[in-house]
A and B are shown apart, each in its own frame.
Chain A
Amino acid sequence: MHEAHNHIGEKPGWSVATHRRLSVVNSEEIPPAPAAAEFVEMLLSVATRKDRQAFAALFRHFGPRLKTFFMRGAMSAGLAEDLVQETMLTVWRKASYFDPARAGVATWIFTIARNRRIDHLRRQRDPASLPFDPPEMPPSQEEVFVVAERDTRIRSALAGLSEEQQTILRMAYFSEKSQSEIAEELGIPLGTVKSRTRLAMNRLRTLLEDEK
């Protein structure tokens, strides 16, 4: 513990941001977030040293985002907060499984949040259902060296989508809503949701291939 504190220096340690974020959120009360590489250091420090300060910094950054993520899936603020805690607890427990050669920190945390949400929805329907804990997949050949490059590629591909296409993909990621429910919420016919989703997917795929 104390060693870990010394290692990372004074209190603000991890929360000092040296890089700017790509998109600015809200106003000045939110300090600019650390860059992807710093998150990797933090998570590795949690894994190897049980570094609570690094964990706290990750929590401060991802916790409020995870809360929005869960709330978009039609969960109450209270429930969303419970799942944020569950997710971050899993981050603590499984930190040693994090492999920076395979995924960025945001992506890794996203997959944990996704699994916790699947768990929650299944428990809701059947309290007896067992935890969903998928095994780690072996990496694909392309995966070994390209994490940072892939993340950049994906960011620029997403930026190439129209606002409307981004919205429809985001909805597909953040909620369990069926396409017919999405249609209702957006006030457009189901067929339009289906075709827009397909168009957005195809466009994203084209952009991703172009970036390669």
Chain B
Amino acid sequence: MSSNHHAKDETLMRFAAGTLAAGPSLVVEAHLAGCSTCRARIAEYEAVGGSFLEDIEPTQLSETALADTLAMIDQEDEMPAPVSAQKPVEIDGIRLPDALRGCDIGRWRWAGPGVRMSRVGVPHDPEANLILLKVGPGRALPDHGHVGTEFTYIVSGSYTDRFGQFRPGDLAEMDEDVEHQPIVDQGADCICLAAMEGRMRFNSVIGRMLQPIFGI
């Protein structure tokens, strides 16, 4: 599966730095599974992090830090290797990205004519705003009024907007000020995984309250 639409460099860097929110991270991860170009860039940005870490000035640790860590190592017996026995996830018999293993996939719910939506629960971040959308042929993807960038990964089917055709494996990354109206291509439903950022950043409570006001 080779992709035509990729993640932006800045997004890949934030993914590598660990500062991209959980929802968008999973959408990017879904794309990465089939895109060696973006994976190579992630590896580069991780190496940038490694280089920064290597060059950072050291801060003295407490005298017992090493001994404490060795003591923790002593305490744990032979830990069984964590087995990821999670089954592949699917919906409507269509295999979903492995990035969603362990996530809680809700049922399809009506979200407008020809549009079904399912919430995706992320175990390591219950606040993540992640959904699956299923849109019928010829239908427009609903306008969900996002604050901040929206990330969409195409699972099956395809849609077209003024940026071109988006097919399985592609990633669409749209800033909030980008106007586009994706229309699902004829022939099949289009299922996509979408996350929005903006409302679920790592912010303080007050920051979160102010966000809608200032649009940050």
Contacts and interface: CB of A to CB of B under 8 A. Distances in A.
Contacts of A67: 58-61
B216 A137 contact: no
Nearest to B43: A143
Contacts of B209: none
Nearest to B18: A114
B57 interface: yes
B124 A180 contact: no
Interface size class of A (residues with CB under 8 A): 35 or more
Nearest to B34: A138
Contact of A84 (B43, B46, B61, B98): B61
A173 B52 contact: yes
B13 interface: yes
B47 A178 contact: no
Nearest to A170: B52
Given A85-B69, A89-B72, A197-B10, A140 B48 contact: no
Contacts of A22: 55
Could you say which of B14, B33, B53, B72 has the most chain A C-beta atoms within 10 Å of its C-beta? Answer: B53
A155 B68 CA distance: 34
A160 to B, nearest CB: 13
B206 interface: no
Interface string B74-107: 0000010010100000000000001001100000
Contacts of A48: none
Contacts of A80: 59
A102 B72 CA distance: 28
A37 interface: no
A68 B29 CA distance: 28
Nearest to B200: A125
Nearest to A143: B43
Contacts, number: 182
Contacts of A98: none
A23 interface: yes
A169 interface: yes
A208 interface: yes
B212 interface: no
A22 B61 CA distance: 23
Contacts of B9: 201-202, 205
A109 B53 contact: yes
Nearest to A197: B10
Nearest to B54: A106
A55 B201 CA distance: 36
B66 A63 contact: yes
A150 B50 CA distance: 12
Could you say which of B56, B57, B123, B203 has the most chain A C-beta atoms within 10 Å of its C-beta? Answer: B56
Interface in A104-137: 104, 106-111, 113-115, 117-119, 121-122, 125-126, 128-135, 137
Contacts of A172: 13-14, 17, 19
A4 interface: no
Contacts of B16: 114
Contact of B47 (A84, A103, A174, A202): A103
Given A63-B61, A140-B39, A176 B49 contact: no
B1 interface: no
Contacts of B33: 137-138
Nearest to B20: A118
A130 to B, nearest CB: 4
Contact of A68 (B22, B42, B58): B58
Nearest to B8: A201
B40 interface: yes
10 contacts: A63-B61, A64-B59, A68-B59, A89-B72, A113-B53, A122-B124, A134-B29, A140-B39, A172-B14, A172-B17
Given A85-B65, A130-B102, 13 more contacts: A25-B57, A26-B57, A64-B59, A68-B56, A102-B43, A103-B46, A110-B53, A119-B124, A122-B22, A129-B123, A141-B40, A143-B39, A178-B202
